[in-house]
Structure 1
Amino acid sequence: MTEPQQGFAIGVDLGTSNTVAVVRWPDGRTRPLLVDGAPIMPSGVFVDEHGRLHVGRDAARLAGLDPSRFEPNPKRRIDEPTVLLGDREIATVDLLAAILAAVARAAVEAVGFLPAAVLTYPAAWGTRRRDVLATAARRAGWPPVMLVPEPVAAARYFADVLRRPVPVGAALAVFDFGGGTLDIAVVRNDNGRFTVIGSGGVEDLGGLDIDAALVEHLGQLISTTAPATWEAIRNPATTTQRRDRRLFWDDVRGAKEMLSRTTVAPITVPGADQAIHLTREELDRVVGPLIHRAVWETGSVIASAGLRGDQLAGLFLVGGSSRLPLASRQLHAQLGIPPTVLEQPELPVAEGALAELAPPAPPLAGHDLTSATGYGASPTGFVGSPAAPHGSPAAAHGSPAAPVSPGFGAAPTSGGFGAPPTSGGFGHTSGAPTNSGYPMTAAQAIPPGQYGASAPPTAPFQTPTPPPTPPPRPRSRRGPLVAGIAAVVVLALVAGGYFWFFRDRDTKVDFATLKAEKTFEMGDPDTINYPISATLNDRAVIGWRVDKQFFVQGINLGDMKTAWPKITIDRDYSKWGITAYQDGIVVTGTGSSLGSVFILDWKNGKIVWQGTFSDYDMLYATGPVLAIHRYEGKKTDAVTWAGKNAWTRPDNGKGSAIYGQSNSADLRGPGNYNGVSINRDMKARDDLISIDGDDKIRLINATNGTEIRSWNNVGEYGAEYLAHDDKLFVAGGSTKYTVNAYDLSSAGEPSQIYSFGNDKVEIVDMAPCADNRLCLIDGSYGGKDNTVRAISVADKREVWNAPAPGSTMLVPVGRQVLATDRDSPASVLLSYEGKSLLRNEDRDSYGVRVASGSLMFFTGTLSATSPANLTLVGVSAASGERIALGPLTKTIGLSCSWNASLILCASEGKFQVWRFAAA
Structure 2
Amino acid sequence: PGLAGATPTPPGGATRWRRARWVVLGVVLALVGVATAATLYLTRDRYPDLKFDSLRELSRLSAGPERPGDMWTAVLDDRAYLAFPLPDDRLEVVAVDAGNGRELWREQTDVRADDWETIIAVPGAVAVLADAPGDSTPRPLAVLDGRTGEQRWQRVLRGDDDVYFADDTAVLVDRAADQLVGLRLTNGSAKWTKPNPRGQYAGGRTVVRPVGTDAAAGGPAFLDGTPRNPWASKGRRLIQVGADRSIRLLDMASGAVLRQWGSVADLDDLVVAHEDRLYVAANEGGYQLLAYDLGSDAEPVVLHRSGNDEYRPKELVACGERRACLLQVPDNDAARTEVVAATEGERMVRWSAPGVTGLIPLGEQVLAQRESPEPTVTVFDVAGKPVLRDRGGVAVRLDAGNLLVFAKAPSVVADNRVLAGVWAESGAVDELGELKDVRSSSCSWNTHVIACGADKDFVLYRFTDD
Alignment TM-score, normalising by the size of structure 1 = 0.43
Output one character per residue of 1:516-542: Cα deviation in whole Å (capped at 9) or x when no partner: 11111113453x011010001110100
Output one character per residue of 1:561-593: Cα deviation in whole Å (capped at 9) or x when no partner: 111123234423323201112242221111341
CA positional deviation for 1:826: 2.4
Match of 1:605 among 149, 155, 162: 149
Secondary structure, aligned partner of 2:356:
coil
| Higher mean C-alpha displacement, 880-889 vs 745-754 | 745-754
**Which one-letter code corresponds to 2:411 in the other structure?**
S
Q: 2: CA distance between counterparts of 1:623 and 1:748?
A: 30
Partner residue, 2:176:
632
Secondary structure, aligned partner of 2:427:
coil
2:132 corresponds to 1:591: yes
504 and 773 in structure 1: CA distance in 2 versus 1, 3 angstrom threshold: farther
544 and 716 in structure 1: CA distance in 2 versus 1, 3 angstrom threshold: closer
Matched ranges for 1:264-663 at <5 A: 505-526=46-67, 528-547=68-87, 548-592=89-133, 593-643=137-187, 644-654=189-199, 655-657=204-206, 658-663=208-213
Q: Residues 700 and 707 of structure 1 are in contact (CA less than 8 Å); yes or no, is this contact kept in structure 2? A: yes
Across the aligned residues of Structure 1 and Structure 2, the Cα RMSD in angstroms comes to 2.3
Q: Residues 210 and 239 of structure 2 are in contact (CA less than 8 Å); yes or no, is this contact kept in structure 1? A: yes
Partner residue, 1:845:
393
Q: Residues 839 and 881 of structure 1 are in contact (CA less than 8 Å); yes or no, is this contact kept in structure 2? A: no
535 and 625 in structure 1: CA distance in 2 versus 1, 3 angstrom threshold: same
Matched ranges for 1:222-301 at <5 A: none
Q: 2: CA distance between counterparts of 1:601 and 1:771?
A: 36
Q: Residues 175 and 205 of structure 2 are in contact (CA less than 8 Å); yes or no, is this contact kept in structure 1? A: no
Q: Residues 849 and 855 of structure 1 are in contact (CA less than 8 Å); yes or no, is this contact kept in structure 2? A: yes
Partner residue, 1:679:
229
Output one character per residue of 1:873-896: Cα deviation in whole Å (capped at 9) or x when no partner: 111111111111111232101111
Q: Residues 216 and 231 of structure 2 are in contact (CA less than 8 Å); yes or no, is this contact kept in structure 1? A: yes
Partner residue, 2:420:
873
Partner residue, 1:860:
408
CA positional deviation for 1:509: 0.9
Q: Residues 111 and 140 of structure 2 are in contact (CA less than 8 Å); yes or no, is this contact kept in structure 1? A: no
702 and 734 in structure 1: CA distance in 2 versus 1, 3 angstrom threshold: same
Q: 1: CA distance between counterparts of 2:283 and 2:452?
A: 42
Match of 1:706 among 256, 278, 281: 256
Match of 1:904 among 448, 451, 456: 451
Output one character per residue of 1:677-705: Cα deviation in whole Å (capped at 9) or x when no partner: 12223553433323223443222232322
2:426 corresponds to 1:885: no
Partner residue, 1:914:
461
Partner residue, 1:462:
none
682 and 855 in structure 1: CA distance in 2 versus 1, 3 angstrom threshold: closer
CA positional deviation for 1:502: 11
Output one character per residue of 1:256-302: Cα deviation in whole Å (capped at 9) or x when no partner: xxxxxxxxxxxxxxxxxxxxxxxxxxxxxxxxxxxxxxxxxxxxxxx
Secondary structure, aligned partner of 1:883:
strand
Match of 2:318 among 768, 791, 803: 768
CA positional deviation for 1:819: 0.7
Secondary structure, aligned partner of 1:529:
coil
CA positional deviation for 1:845: 1.0
Which has a greater percent of helix? 1
Output one character per residue of 1:473-529: Cα deviation in whole Å (capped at 9) or x when no partner: xxxxxxxxxxxxxxxxxxxxxxxxxxxx99964332111111111111113453x01
Q: 1: CA distance between counterparts of 2:58 and 2:423?
A: 24
502 and 579 in structure 1: CA distance in 2 versus 1, 3 angstrom threshold: farther
CA positional deviation for 1:827: 1.2
Q: 2: CA distance between counterparts of 1:717 and 1:895?
A: 31
Q: 1: CA distance between counterparts of 2:114 and 2:156?
A: 12
- Count of matched residue positions in the alignment of Structure 1 and Structure 2: 413
CA positional deviation for 1:822: 5.7
Unpaired runs of at least 5, structure 2: 1-41
CA positional deviation for 1:863: 1.8
**Which one-letter code corresponds to 2:237 in the other structure?**
D
CA positional deviation for 1:858: 0.3
Q: Residues 586 and 598 of structure 1 are in contact (CA less than 8 Å); yes or no, is this contact kept in structure 2? A: yes
Q: 2: CA distance between counterparts of 1:719 and 1:908?
A: 41
Secondary structure, aligned partner of 2:109:
strand
Output one character per residue of 1:223-249: Cα deviation in whole Å (capped at 9) or x when no partner: xxxxxxxxxxxxxxxxxxxxxxxxxxx
Secondary structure, aligned partner of 2:444:
strand
Partner residue, 1:317:
none
Q: Residues 277 and 322 of structure 2 are in contact (CA less than 8 Å); yes or no, is this contact kept in structure 1? A: no
CA positional deviation for 1:767: 1.5
Q: Residues 774 and 793 of structure 1 are in contact (CA less than 8 Å); yes or no, is this contact kept in structure 2? A: no
870 and 580 in structure 1: CA distance in 2 versus 1, 3 angstrom threshold: same
Match of 1:794 among 327, 338, 345: 345
Match of 2:335 among 784, 787, 794: 784
504 and 632 in structure 1: CA distance in 2 versus 1, 3 angstrom threshold: farther
CA positional deviation for 1:660: 2.1
Match of 1:818 among 357, 367, 389: 367
861 and 766 in structure 1: CA distance in 2 versus 1, 3 angstrom threshold: closer
Which has a greater percent of strand? 2
717 and 759 in structure 1: CA distance in 2 versus 1, 3 angstrom threshold: farther
**Which one-letter code corresponds to 1:602 in the other structure?**
G
Partner residue, 1:151:
none
Q: 2: CA distance between counterparts of 1:786 and 1:733?
A: 16
Output one character per residue of 1:41-75: Cα deviation in whole Å (capped at 9) or x when no partner: xxxxxxxxxxxxxxxxxxxxxxxxxxxxxxxxxxx
763 and 879 in structure 1: CA distance in 2 versus 1, 3 angstrom threshold: same
Q: 2: CA distance between counterparts of 1:816 and 1:503?
A: 18
Q: Residues 393 and 409 of structure 2 are in contact (CA less than 8 Å); yes or no, is this contact kept in structure 1? A: no
Matched ranges for 1:28-47 at <5 A: none
Output one character per residue of 1:762-793: Cα deviation in whole Å (capped at 9) or x when no partner: 22212222354211112242522222221122
**Which one-letter code corresponds to 1:514 in the other structure?**
L
Report percent identity of matched pairs.
27
Q: Residues 166 and 231 of structure 2 are in contact (CA less than 8 Å); yes or no, is this contact kept in structure 1? A: no
783 and 617 in structure 1: CA distance in 2 versus 1, 3 angstrom threshold: same
Q: 1: CA distance between counterparts of 2:447 and 2:301?
A: 39
Q: Residues 77 and 446 of structure 2 are in contact (CA less than 8 Å); yes or no, is this contact kept in structure 1? A: yes
Secondary structure, aligned partner of 1:560:
coil
541 and 822 in structure 1: CA distance in 2 versus 1, 3 angstrom threshold: farther
Secondary structure, aligned partner of 2:216:
helix
**Which one-letter code corresponds to 1:877 in the other structure?**
A
Secondary structure, aligned partner of 1:903:
strand
Secondary structure, aligned partner of 1:598:
strand
Output one character per residue of 1:157-186: Cα deviation in whole Å (capped at 9) or x when no partner: xxxxxxxxxxxxxxxxxxxxxxxxxxxxxx
Secondary structure, aligned partner of 1:604:
coil
**Which one-letter code corresponds to 1:539 in the other structure?**
R
Secondary structure, aligned partner of 1:681:
helix
Q: 2: CA distance between counterparts of 1:910 and 1:577?
A: 17
CA positional deviation for 1:837: 1.4
Q: 2: CA distance between counterparts of 1:503 and 1:907?
A: 39
Q: Residues 772 and 794 of structure 1 are in contact (CA less than 8 Å); yes or no, is this contact kept in structure 2? A: no
Q: 2: CA distance between counterparts of 1:511 and 1:738?
A: 42
Partner residue, 1:665:
215
Q: 2: CA distance between counterparts of 1:671 and 1:693?
A: 30
Q: 2: CA distance between counterparts of 1:633 and 1:755?
A: 38
Unpaired runs of at least 5, structure 1: 1-500
Q: Residues 553 and 566 of structure 1 are in contact (CA less than 8 Å); yes or no, is this contact kept in structure 2? A: yes
